[in-house]
Structure 1
């Protein structure tokens, strides 16, 4: 398969060390956010102030890599100027693209900074080519990141009916929601990734240790109980275990990671422009591991074409950083429609 048909590899940078890990291990582009609630991974200790962002941009761009700035939460009433300043900052910094979700902010960016390349965030929740084409027509959007709820056939249908570049997720945590509509977190805490930039914000999380087990709660709601020999996951509402008809199990979503190595040839064949790795809240070691192995797989696809085969070493390495040590093709290969 010719290299020009191989999707770009877009990797997460929740910190400067993570950015460098992505660049050093073969990312074509990194995506990052400000250290505030304009960014949908607004966790304490993560993200970039102006100094770190400029250093990160120098590091990436001097090595021929792109920097994408996510301003992908929704402007809150009375504070629209905070999000507008973030867009102004993106233009002043000279980022390669700004990733936006809010329609009002897209309009602002298109009018105020016509030379700023715009990408439609997954938080924009565009699941059809009509939505993607609307964003192109009204705001000049050049790329759209599709939510992780579409089958591969549905992704192909979007690509066939738009000239906008399409980016899809290829590795990392999944979300039970249609991104951009994070109702569970809003219900449990009054806050969500769309508003404050964090799902299950840490201030609502409580760990309670008792003999033989750990209990986790989110804003007082019991999310899960773990025996001493079980790994305790971060208590997000969708990934807790619930009692349903006298059975206790992960009723909404199991802790598992998307991994598309198996279907990389199909993803390339249908014309996907870029594959995104989830995980700005994860460590630099995670970023390095995932980037290195996804890069190896994409390079093998470019080199081997129809002879492409998955290396057991890639799968082994990725399984070590997968959520719950499990992998899935998610909605790409779901048996229902």
Structure 2
């Protein structure tokens, strides 16, 4: 390559700065076949999905895929250059570990591009039984440092890790610098106040842990009731929130309820309803070497998937062409806030002003 002229324009420099790195992948949720198609049609690089059972961490009634739907979805995605990942990211139970192994075998037979795993035993099964299968470490695996991630690589051949949403950008960079494993981070969607994979809040009132039954706040434990004081939401009989007339009501989870504190004040004591939105951090994430941006929301509608995917596809493409001139458009932010929890957004743990 000839040396660059001192007068080379910024666009040329930007392009050269990003051309050597593999493209940043946009990994989008698919809770149904229409959602999968919405993601693919609007520019997803990859979609992730799960089976209709406890092997995945979004085991809600009416969501997820049977074998016929997965085969249909894989065909649709692959024909359009999009990859398909299967989430098998809950923990096999002693009474029936075979369910998880059968699901993994099924994923291979169906031709998924990768499986997303949390349990080391299932990783060992995959590495032994299907050595050519691409393995991703789920956020449910709770790996927050490079030693943990490198352990999973050395023992089971993990090639990508999804980081929990509790790390600052500095900490993400420290992980990337010390592991050859591809790093995927959450870019948009619901937040979690816990290190994913270590939360048992809902099990206290429902008897079912997200990591074993595949769902936080299972629908069968949710109750809505109109009362003289307003619309009440309950989880396992526990009052989670009370809404005034015209107030937007959110799905009841313990971490996002409003509670009386010291009998003096009623507020979101653990976490306010707000969504992570890292559009403004895209140039930094690309420069750091993040391999993929994950969009949360397999429990959301196809319209949500289409809207979020479209915005992020445009943003990633613009940032890749000219990272030094990139800035989130007002329209992008407004579009994402429309589908955000509480219609508001945050940078979450990525930005810690107290540090």
Q: CA RMSD in A?
A: 1.0
* SS across alignment from 2:213: coil
8 Å contact 1:9–1:276 — kept in the other structure?
Answer: yes
Match of 1:117 in 2: 134
Match of 2:201 in 1: 184
Q: Deviation string for 1:110-139 (max 9, x for gaps)?
A: 111000000000000100101100000000
8 Å contact 2:169–2:351 — kept in the other structure?
Answer: yes
**Structure 2 length as normaliser, TM-score?**
0.93
Counterparts of 1:127 and 1:260, CA distance in 2: 19
Match of 2:281 in 1: 263
Unaligned runs of 5+ in 2: 1-13
- What is the CA-CA distance between 1:302 and the residue it aligns to? 1.1
Counterparts of 2:170 and 2:120, CA distance in 1: 27
Identify the match of residue 292 of structure 2 among 274, 278, 293: 274
Counterparts of 1:6 and 1:236, CA distance in 2: 36
Q: In the alignment, does 2:115 pair up with 1:95?
A: no
- What is the CA-CA distance between 1:211 and the residue it aligns to? 3.3
8 Å contact 1:9–1:275 — kept in the other structure?
Answer: yes
Counterparts of 2:292 and 2:205, CA distance in 1: 34
Identify the match of residue 19 of structure 1 among 26, 36, 39: 36
Q: Deviation string for 1:139-196 (max 9, x for gaps)?
A: 0000000000000100000000000000000000001111001221122212122111
Counterparts of 2:96 and 2:198, CA distance in 1: 20
Counterparts of 1:268 and 1:193, CA distance in 2: 32
State the number of aligned residues: 337
Q: In the alignment, does 2:167 pair up with 1:150?
A: yes
Counterparts of 1:336 and 1:75, CA distance in 2: 39
- What is the CA-CA distance between 1:212 and the residue it aligns to? 5.3
* SS across alignment from 1:114: coil
Identify the match of residue 347 of structure 2 among 329, 333, 337: 329
Comparing 213-222 with 22-31, greater Cα deviation is found at 213-222
Match of 1:317 in 2: 335
Counterparts of 1:216 and 1:284, CA distance in 2: 25
Q: Aligned ranges for residues 184-223 of structure 1 at < 5 Å? A: 184-211=201-228, 213-223=230-240
Q: Deviation string for 1:276-317 (max 9, x for gaps)?
A: 000000000000000000111101101222011111110111
Structure 1 segments, 4+ long, off by >6 Å, are none
Q: Aligned ranges for residues 226-241 of structure 1 at < 5 Å? A: 226-241=243-258
- What is the CA-CA distance between 1:28 and the residue it aligns to? 0.2
8 Å contact 1:5–1:268 — kept in the other structure?
Answer: no
Counterparts of 1:127 and 1:335, CA distance in 2: 20
Counterparts of 1:336 and 1:223, CA distance in 2: 30
Identify the match of residue 308 of structure 1 among 304, 319, 326: 326
Match of 2:265 in 1: 247
8 Å contact 1:212–1:228 — kept in the other structure?
Answer: no
Counterparts of 2:348 and 2:23, CA distance in 1: 21
Q: In the alignment, does 2:321 pair up with 1:297?
A: no
- What is the CA-CA distance between 1:77 and the residue it aligns to? 1.1
8 Å contact 1:36–1:42 — kept in the other structure?
Answer: yes
Counterparts of 2:105 and 2:287, CA distance in 1: 37
Counterparts of 1:172 and 1:166, CA distance in 2: 18
- What is the CA-CA distance between 1:52 and the residue it aligns to? 0.3
Counterparts of 1:141 and 1:333, CA distance in 2: 28
* SS across alignment from 1:135: helix
Counterparts of 2:140 and 2:322, CA distance in 1: 35
- What is the CA-CA distance between 1:336 and the residue it aligns to? 4.2
Match of 2:144 in 1: 127
- What is the CA-CA distance between 1:335 and the residue it aligns to? 2.9
**Structure 1 length as normaliser, TM-score?**
0.98
